[in-house]
Every structure is written in C-alpha cells, then in structure tokens.
Amino acid sequence: MSISSQISELKLFSKKEKLEVVDSFQESKTAKQPGRSQFGLMIKGIEEGKADGILAWHPDRLARNSVDGGKIVYLLDTGKLKDLKFPTFWFENTPQGKFSLNIAFSQSKYYVDNLSENIKRGYRQKLRQGLLPSIAPFGYLNNRYTKGIDIDPPKAKYVRLAFSLYATGDYTIKSIANFFEKKGLRSLKGHVLSYSCIHRLLKNPVYYGVIRFNDQIYQGVHKPLITKKLFDQVQAVFGHRTSKIKRRKTHNYPFTGLIHCKSCTCSITAEKQKGHIYYRCTKKKGVCSQKYLRQDLLVKQMSYIIKKVSLKDGWAEKMIRELDRDKVSYQKLDNSITQKLTAKRLQISSKLDHLLDLNLDGLIDQDQYNRKRSQLINQKVDIDQSLREFRSQSQNRLEPIYKLIFSASQAKKLINTKDYNKMYFFMKKIGSNFLLNNQKLEFDPKIGWRVLLKNTDCPDWRRVRDSNP
C-alpha cells in the first residue's frame, strides 16, 4: 500500500482501538539498511519515555534488518516499549509474542535478501542474452515484447551528431547541450538535457554495441548508433582535456605538433611575424642554434617530398592489374594450404573417434586413453588456431599495398594544395620522426613509401629481375 493509504488505515485503527497517538513518523527510506533518521527519532522518543507503544501497518515497516529488529525486541525486554499494534499482524507482549515478532522480522529480511538475489539473477540472465537490464538511454526505446532496446530515430540522429561534433575537438559539452536545448530535445521526464547528461551520453559504450554494467562489459544484441572508432576518438578528446593538453590549432599553424628540433629534440612551435608564419624551436631545454623557417619554404619542401612519392599517370592502373593477377595466384596457394590443414584436422577427428572405440572395447586402459586423447585435442586446437591466423593474414595480405597505391596516385593533388591540413595528414601517413635541421625537413619514411622515395629515378615502375631468382 502507499504511505498515504497506510496512514488513513492506521488512523481508523487507532480510533477503533482507542489508542492515544503522541507523534507520527513518516519514513521514505527503505528498512533494508539501518540508519533511518525518522526511525531513530521514534526510538529516541520511546527511550525518553514520551510513548510506550508503536502503531505500524506491519512489522516489515519497522525493520527489515537485524539491527533495527533487535532494537525493537530489546526495548520490549527492558519494558520501555510495552506494546505493538498492527492492523495486519497480531502481537502480544509475551515470550510467544516476541518469538512471533522475531519470526516476522526474519521473514521480512529473508524477503528483501531473496528479492535482491532474484533481481541480480535476472540482471545476469539479461546480460548473458545481450539485453540492457535498465531503462533505455537517450536515443533508444525499451521494447516491451523483446525486452531489448530499439533505436529512437528522431533522437538517434542527434546522438550521432553529438559524438561527431565532440570528436572534432572544436565543441564542448556546454555547446552541445545548448544546441540540444535549441532543438527542443528533452529527457524521458521532459527535462532539458543537462551538462552531466551529455557527459554520460558521450561516455556510454552502449552506443557502439556493448553494455557496461557494474564495471563489466557485455556484448549487446541491440543495433549500435556509432562505430567503436568514433567512440574512441571522443574518449581521446576527453583524455586530452582532462590532462590539459593543448590541442593543435589547425586553422592558424597547421604543422605544429608534427616536427621536432634535431639539435635539442624540443617541439617546433610557430608564430606570426610581419604577415608570415615562422616555425622555430621552443628552446625549452635551453639555448638552441636552429634558425627560423618560414611556412611557405616548409610547404615547398613537403611538396617536393610528395612529388617524389606520387605515381605517374597510368602507373596505378598497371600496378592494380598486376596485383589482381598476384591475388589470384595467392588465392590458389591459400586454398591449397587451407585444404591441407582441414584434411589434417579431419584425420585427428577420425583418430579421436577410433581412440574412443578402443577405449569402449577395453583394448586400452583409461590412463592411456586420457593421455592420447589430450595429445590429439591439443593438436586439433593448434590446427584450428593456425587456420584462423592463416585466413586472417591471407585476407589482409595485399590490402596495405592497394592502399599505398591509391594514396600515391592521389598524392599529386596535394603538391600545390592550399589545404595544409591534408598535407599534414599525408606527411604523417608516409613518415615519422620529423625533424628540422638547419631549415631542412628530415624524416624516416614508413615501409612501402621508402621504396618510392629511394627509387624515383627508375625508368619503369617494375623492378628488374633478381640476379639469383
């Protein structure tokens, strides 16, 4: 019953029994745990002699834990509490009555403990099935039939937008919350989405398909709204802001954060002087002899590097055709190896069946059977692992080369570009450890690009035949 209904019933009961009510206490906290404030005030009043009885709807309203139940029984034993009255439970201040009261308190505690275990068990079962055991987050709706969550299309697009905006690093939680408020978005209870609500939204992995519950991650069966990559980008922005790392301002100085000084290994910073952007050593470790380098001269050096790695017209098509031919031969080889591993796996399965027959016929003892069976199962596990690794490698073997050819064929578009952000990311793609040495840009080419940088004067894109094939 509701609290108001209980109060009405107790008033009628007190008139019927002709009881004098000294004070009334209404407790909203659960009786499962000790420490209720109103319960404490009631006990204090009884100990001070303000009253010698308690009127309640049921014993479980007084206590569902051993501490509070013990206090009631102790007051009955000491005589400070003379009687208890319940409309739904009979009590008499006798040894039998206190025994029945203890049983009622114990039953109440058992009910609460058992209910807690049943709820936890239900949560675990839903998590095993990949279902969210709580109210659907913003952007989803609870499905009463499947017990899962479905996408709420009108709100889902704003969830995706929030992740996309925050991942750029140019938007704050406050700006996203204000944007949502202007769009009229509201929570389930009709409230404006607070900053903390947006923060929890951007931290919730449920949007890329997993469920976080009690610090554990479970695979969900619901449809994700974003990719794991986008979620990781958002968390990276959170990390940068938490650690107070200053983000690179691409609209002012596009190449800061890319280059270090070769002399002292400090970062290269930038500043604007007389209408030009200059890059120089930060000199955080002391005096440094490296000179300034104007941005247009740095761009000129990068354009020369990009020109060296860019493919001539028509080369990419020829290289792709050649790779396609290689891909066919690789597939034939892969199929042959896969068939051999699969055949070996079938042989082991057959040996296991034969071994089981020998054991059932009594031709080998149990120790021999267990030892040989363990050996065969381990061999089978090794083959399964080899098959998984081989299939994964064979699928991705030529993919990096395709990507390199495509990037190199598109590189020529960046030679005279004014979009320095694209130039920045392309340089990061082809090399690492960028250093400024006497106004010259030096770096370590990455695998694949190393060949293009060192063989730009080759008359043909195909290498010559090895002297010892």
What pLDDT is stored for residue 458 in this prediction? 44
CB atoms within 10 A of CB 345: 17
What pLDDT is stored for residue 202 in this prediction? 92
Give the type of residue at 165. L
Residues 311-347 have pLDDT tens digits of: 777 777 787 777 777 777 777 777 778 888 888 888 9
Least confident interval from 52-56, 298-302, 419-423, 458-462 = 458-462
The answer to whether the Cα torsion of 240, 245, 246, 249 is positive or negative is negative
| C-beta contacts of 147-155 below 8 A and 24+ residues apart | 148/221, 148/222, 149/222, 150/222, 150/223, 151/223, 151/225, 155/185
Residue 318 near residue 461, CB atoms below 8 Å: yes
Q: How confident is the model at residue 379 (pLDDT cuts 50, 70, 90)?
A: confident
What pLDDT is stored for residue 54 in this prediction? 92
Q: How confident is the model at residue 460 (pLDDT cuts 50, 70, 90)?
A: very low
What pLDDT is stored for residue 419 in this prediction? 84
Higher local confidence (pLDDT), 459 or 286 = 286
Report the SS3 class of residue 244.
coil
Structure tokens at 313: 């017209």
Least confident interval from 135-144, 284-293, 396-405, 457-466 = 457-466
Residue 193 near residue 138, CB atoms below 8 Å: yes
Give the DSSP H/E element, type plus range, for residue 151.
Answer: strand 149-151
Percent over 70 (pLDDT), the chain: 91
Residues 57-82 have pLDDT tens digits of: 888 888 888 888 888 888 998 989 88
Over residues 106-125, the mean pLDDT reads 79
What pLDDT is stored for residue 121 in this prediction? 80
Percent over 90 (pLDDT), the chain: 6
Give the type of residue at 37. S
What pLDDT is stored for residue 457 in this prediction? 47
Q: Tell me the CB-side half-sphere exposure of residue 240, using CA atoms within 13 A.
A: 16
Residues 136-181 have pLDDT tens digits of: 889 899 988 888 899 999 899 999 999 999 988 888 888 899 888 8
What pLDDT is stored for residue 245 in this prediction? 45
Over the chain, what is the mean pLDDT? 82
What pLDDT is stored for residue 55 in this prediction? 92
Distance, C-alpha 115 to centroid of its chain: 30
Residues 384-403 have pLDDT tens digits of: 777 777 766 665 666 777 77
* Pairwise CA distance, residues 186 & 293, whole Å: 52
Q: How confident is the model at residue 454 (pLDDT cuts 50, 70, 90)?
A: low
| Strand duo 268-273 + 276-281: pairing | antiparallel
Q: How confident is the model at residue 186 (pLDDT cuts 50, 70, 90)?
A: confident
Statement: residue 129 has pLDDT above 60: yes
What pTM was computed for the model?
A: 0.40
Over residues 208-231, the mean pLDDT reads 82
Structure tokens at 48: 């001070």
